[in-house]
Amino acid sequence: MPQSEITTLEQFIVDQQALHVNADGSLSRIFRAIELAAKIVNRDVRKAGLIDILGEDGSINPHGEDQQKLDVIANNVFISALSRTKEVSMIISEENEGVVYVEGCENEKYIVAIDPLDGSSNIDVNVSIGSIFSIYQRSNPENNPSIDDCLQNGDRQVAAGYVFYGSSTMLVYTTGQGVNGFTLDDALQEFCLSHPQIKTPSEGGIFSVNEGNYQDFPTGIQAYIDYCKDPDKPTKRPYKARYIGSMIADFHRNLLKGGIFMYPSTNKSPNGKLRLMYECNPMAFIAEQAGGLASTGSMRVMELDPTELHQRCPLYIGSKNMVQKAVDMLHQYESVLVNR
Ligand code: AHG
Ligand code: MN
Ligand code: MN
């Protein structure tokens, strides 16, 4: 694109704010903080092999998972950038057991949920990773901030997005007015609008799932995976199997090319693995805004009322027709079992 036509994220945010008469700039300040945190984490990720920030931190997160050094670094970077805005009263993070209350900001109306580093197991092997964010307004700003304020369903998100540290670094987000993607220009250190108004194809040709767990998936999902692999010319099957193991990377590819990402329930984990508030809901908001779907298998992800901060849910997300088909097959086989 001609240099004179570059729109930076900064400019885009200012333009968007100007469109909303009642906007007081609070959300813009939160976005700027996320942008800064993204640049700092990007800088660290890009030189991770050169300085001593690869490998395990020696600590364990609230889910019993080993924290990587970069998990801890990214968490601190996002929390301190968000805290400094003085607009956020509470932060929910994958890496913190309880709500992080921001000192001196008890009366502020925003809550931000973050997965500071998604795809931690890929850090050490130089495979794409990401950061996810989801922004809410408090439901009871007149009361003291509390966990009850945080437990809102995804339909109440004000904005959501992700930063993707891939072959280039991108920031993709929505405020409910479509999805826009920005690519970081390394020399300028600015995110520049590169993917305006992203729409995902309603039919795709990629399925992404950890097939190692196949034996443990619901019968209907096993049948759907078999269907994806069955040759059929009119529907362009078999679909391509692609699974990176970083949801952001798998989701982003499928968003642009068309596909489905699944993290089903298993016998061992009836609610799947992914966390509702900072993994499933933000991606669901983006998927729907891009014309796709996001389901738990029994309902829209964003209608699920959370009862816990780190609640998990099964996830079927991506191209509309593919998600619909997977969910239909899931139900079809469930009813066969029930009627047996
Ligand atoms: P995180 O690194 O934030 O814990 O998330 C990892 C998630 C997600 O990114 C990915 O899709 C999934 O875990 C991979 O899980 P499996 O290794 O079980 O397939
Ligand atoms: Mn994650
Ligand atoms: Mn993570």
3-state secondary structure of 273: coil
Output the residue whose Cα is nearest ligand 1's atom 14.
245
Measuring CA to CA, which residue among 319, 27, 9 is closest to residue 195? 9
Within 6 A (CB) of ligand 1 lie: 94, 115, 118-120, 210, 245-247, 273
Q: What atom of ligand 1 comes closest to residue 250's alpha carbon? A: 11
pLDDT in tens, the chain (340 residues): 666 689 999 999 999 887 776 678 899 999 999 999 999 999 999 987 777 778 888 889 888 888 888 999 999 999 999 999 999 999 999 999 999 999 999 999 999 999 999 998 898 899 999 999 999 999 888 889 999 999 999 999 999 999 999 999 999 999 999 999 999 999 999 999 999 999 999 999 999 999 999 999 999 999 999 999 999 999 999 999 999 999 999 999 999 999 999 999 998 899 999 999 999 999 999 999 999 999 999 999 999 999 999 999 999 999 999 999 999 999 998 876 555 4
* 67 Cα–ligand 1 center, Å: 13
Per DSSP, helices labelled H in 85-160 are 147-150
Q: How far from 237 is each of 204, 227, 322, CA to CA, in Å? A: 10, 8, 12
Residue nearest to atom 15 of ligand 1 (CA): 245
Quick: pLDDT tens for 179-209.
999 999 999 999 999 999 999 999 999 999 9
Q: What residue ranges define each of the domains in the chain, with the CATH number in brackets?
A: 3-195 (3.30.540.10), 206-335 (3.40.190.80)
β-bridge pairing 100-101 and 88-93:
antiparallel
Q: At what angle do helices 247-257 and 281-289 cross, to 10 degrees?
A: 10
Enumerate residues 6+ apart whose C-beta is below 8 A from 77: 37, 40, 41, 44, 116
Both tokens assigned to 144: 């003291």
Whose alpha carbon is nearest atom 12 of ligand 1? Answer: 245
Q: Which residue, by CA, sits nearest to atom 18 of ligand 1?
A: 210
Separation of alpha carbons 235 and 203, rounded Å: 9
116 alpha carbon – ligand 3 mean position (Å): 6
Mean pLDDT rounded to a whole number for the chain: 94
Of 66, 73, 121, 244, which is best to mutate to test ligand 1, by the most ligand atoms within 8 angstroms of its C-beta? 121
- Ligand 1 atom at minimal distance to the Cα of residue 118: 3
